[in-house]
Amino acid sequence: MSPAHRLIPFDLLVEAVCEAAGEDVSDVFTRSRRRDLVTARRAIVLLARRHTPLSFEEIARRLGRRTHSGVYEMFLAARMMHGPRWLTLLERSVELARVHADAARTTEEAA
């Protein structure tokens, strides 16, 4: 698998999106409808579908949602989003997630 298409663990992806968005990880798992949290959740769902093997149902479960339908709606909304801030959030999140994943792999190999 090429470096550009490596799988990223879901928990590292969540941490990276929250770091890039300036949000607390715990806030993403709440029911809050604050715009910045909704944007972070949409980024998580979109990137999880692109960089993990998880289904919508599995993503929903990990985000603490009851069903996959809301997560699917987040995914559709995320695909329609555009603009420099959105693209920067996505790019920065993937970059941070890969850095975290590489650091975790290095730590495991050293142990």
Instruction: In whole angstroms, give the CA distance from residue 26 to residue 43.
Output: 16
User: Rounded to the nearest 5 degrees, what angle is found at the Cα of 38, between the Cα atoms of 90 and 24?
Assistant: 80
| Locus of tokens 């949290």 | 37
Q: Which of 102, 108, 92 is nearest to 16 (CA)?
A: 92
* pLDDT category of residue 17 using cuts at 50, 70 and 90: very high
Is pTM beyond 0.75? Reply is yes
How do residues 33-56 score in pLDDT, each as one tens digit? 999 999 999 999 999 999 999 999
- Check residue 64 and report its DSSP letter: T
d(CA 99, CA 109): 15
